[in-house]
Structure 1
Amino acid sequence: MKNIGYKSMIGIMAAFGICSIFSTDFNLAYGASKPTVKVKLNHNTYFYNKAGKRVGKDKLLKNETLQINGSIEKLSEDKKYYFYKSRATINENKNYVYSPDELGLYAYKEKCWVPYTIIKGKAYYKTSNNRFIKVMNVKDINNTALLATSGTVKIKKNTVFYDSKGEPTKTKITKGKQFSVNKYVNLKPQMAINLGYYRVKGTNKYLYAYYVDKPRVPLEYVPKSTKSTYVNLMKNTVIYNGNGTVKLQVDLNHMPNSWKVDELRYIWNPSEKKAELFYHIDNSDPWENSRGGYISASDVIYAGGPKLLPINTPQTANTPQTAEKWQ
C-alpha cells in the first residue's frame, strides 16, 4: 500500500468530517510539534544538557527572545518562579477595565507558571533539541514579567538594616555585601515615595531597595498588611468635595501625596458621560485639608491594607442632586 503523508491524511479526514475526532491521535502518531511559549531573556545565557552541563559555545544575548517547550498552566501550589495572567484588559491609562457587572474588581490576576526542570538544584526551561536554559535568565513569559519567591541582592551603597516598621537600625552594612532575600514589602504604605524593603531570608531584618541591586528575577511587591487602606498619588490631579466642586489640587512634588481611604464608589462624570471610580478619603486621614474628599482611582495606586470593592455599580452612579456639578 502506498504511504500516505500526514498532511494528505488530515485532508482526507477533514473531507469526511472526522478530523476533530482523531486529530489528537494523529498529532501524537505523526510527531506534530509540541506546544511552546515565547520568553525574553534578562541576561546573556548558554545552553545546557539534561545533566546541567554547558553545551557548545552558542550564547543567547540579553533581551533576545526564544521558544521554550511547555504551556502556561494555572498554579495550584507554590513554586519559586511564576507570573500572573491578567483576567482583565488594560486601557490607555494602564488601568484595569472590567465589565460593568463584574463584582470581583481586584480578582484580576491568575497565578501561573510554565513547568520547569530542576537539575542539581537549579531550575531550567527546556528548549529544542533537548537543550535547556536557566530560568533565572528569563525576564518575561509572553510579555508578562516572571517573578520569584526569593533571590539575591547586592549592597550598592553603605547602608544599615531596617526593622519591620521600616525604621533604620544602628547595624551598618558595607557596599558589596550580598544577601539572600525572600520578601519584597512596602513597610510604610502611608508614604507615596517608597521603593520598598527586602527581607533578609531567615531574619526579621530589612534592606531598603534604594541601597541594593535588585534580584535578577524580581520578587513580587507585597503591600503591608494594615487595618486601613492607603493609596499613593501617581500624577497631578484634584480632590473633590462631595458635591463635585474642587476641594484641593495635589501634585507629585508636594505633600500630601498619600491618603487613607475608606470607600470606593462610582460617580457619574457628565463631561465624560460615564461613571468613574473614586476613593473617599477617610475623615481621620493625617492630612486635614484632604479629609472627606474624593480622588479619582485612576490617579492613584493601591499601597496597602484591605482592598476595597465598589459600593455601587456604574448604572447607579448617576445621582441627580450632585452629578450636574461634576463637570
Structure 2
Amino acid sequence: MKRKIMLISTVALMTVVPMIVTSTNEVRATVNSAKKTVMHTAIAYDRDDNSTGRKYYAYDVVTVDPKKVTIDGNLYYKVFGKNQYLKATNIDGVTRRMTHNAYIYRSSNRRTSFNGKWKLYRGQTVTTYGGSYKFKNGKRYFRVGGPHKQYIKSYNLGPVINTNTAASTDSGEETSFADQFIPEWASDGFYRIKGTTHWLVAVLVKADKKLPLRDPQREENLNKYAYITFSKDTNVYNADGTIQNHNGQKIVKQMGQFKVDKLMYIWVPSEKKANLFYHLVGTKFYATNTGTSFFDKIDVGHDAYVKADDVKFVNGVQLTPLNTAAEAQVAAQKK
C-alpha cells in the first residue's frame, strides 16, 4: 500500500477520555445555565436522538444547561427549559492537528486571515466546528473561526485529537467512534481486519480487490437495538394494552428504520387476548394527516408499544420475548 494506513483499535477509541479544555466562547448566565454561541448550524434533537425540526444557526446565542448529556455516544448540550439538545461539537468544536501547511479561506477562491495569520503550518493544532462544508469548487472545508468566514481545506486536517467540551462529571464522557475522524473519512466507510477489533479507514487504503465497507458506529447500534419500519399506519399502545389517544392519529406509514429494545406479550383488554409488542425507543413520530400538516408529530412518551404484527422487522438484534402470552394474561388479571 502506497498510501498511509491508519489503524484504529475500537477498544482504545471507546476509552473514557478526560475533557480538560474549556470552550472560549462561554459566558456564564446563572448558576444553573450558561450562554453559548453556536459556531456551526445545529439541528436540535430530543432526548431519544430524534430531530425536533428546529435549527440553530451559526452565531446564534443560546442558553443551555451546563451539564452535558451523552446520546448515542455523542455529547450534547440541553437547551435551557426545552426538550432540545444540540451537539457539543457545533458549539465547542474539536481539536485537530494540521497534516499539511494550509491557507485560510473565506470562499473557494478568496483567502483571509485567522488570528492575524494567513497560513497555518503542519503540526499546529486548530479548533474546527461541526461537519465540513462542500464549496462550489467541489472541495470540503472546516470552519475554524467566526463570525467572519474562516475555513481550512479538510484535506489538510487530521482526525480529532481532543473534544473541546469540559466534562460535567468526575468520570468524564466517552468520545464516539465517528468523532475520531473527519466526516468524509467516516462517510467513506471502514475495513475491519478479519478476526480482530481493529479497523482501517477506507479512504486511506488502496485495496487489491473490492471489499465490503463497514460502519463501526452502525454495527455497534445494530448490536444494541432491533430496527423496525412502519409498513402501514400504526396504532400506539400503552403498557396496559390500551390504545394511546392522539385524536385519531396513528404513526404514519414511512420508510425509515426505528429503534426498539424490547419484545414482550401484553394483554389487550379490548381483544381479550395477549399480543406480541415492540417497545419503542424514540418518543416522537410522524403522524397520519389530520388536515393541519403532513409533518405533524405525536409524542408517545417513554413507555409506548406497537404490535409486532403491525410493523416489519428490518435488522439489528433478534429480540426474544421477555414473557409468555400466559404470563401477560395472569399479570393483567392481578391488576
Range of TM-score over shorter length: under 0.3
**Counting strand residues as a fraction of each chain, which structure ranks higher?**
1
Structure of higher RCO (CA pairs closer than 8 Å, 6+ residues apart): 2
Name which one, 1 or 2, has greater alpha-carbon Rg.
1
State the TM-score, normalizing by the size of structure 1.
0.28
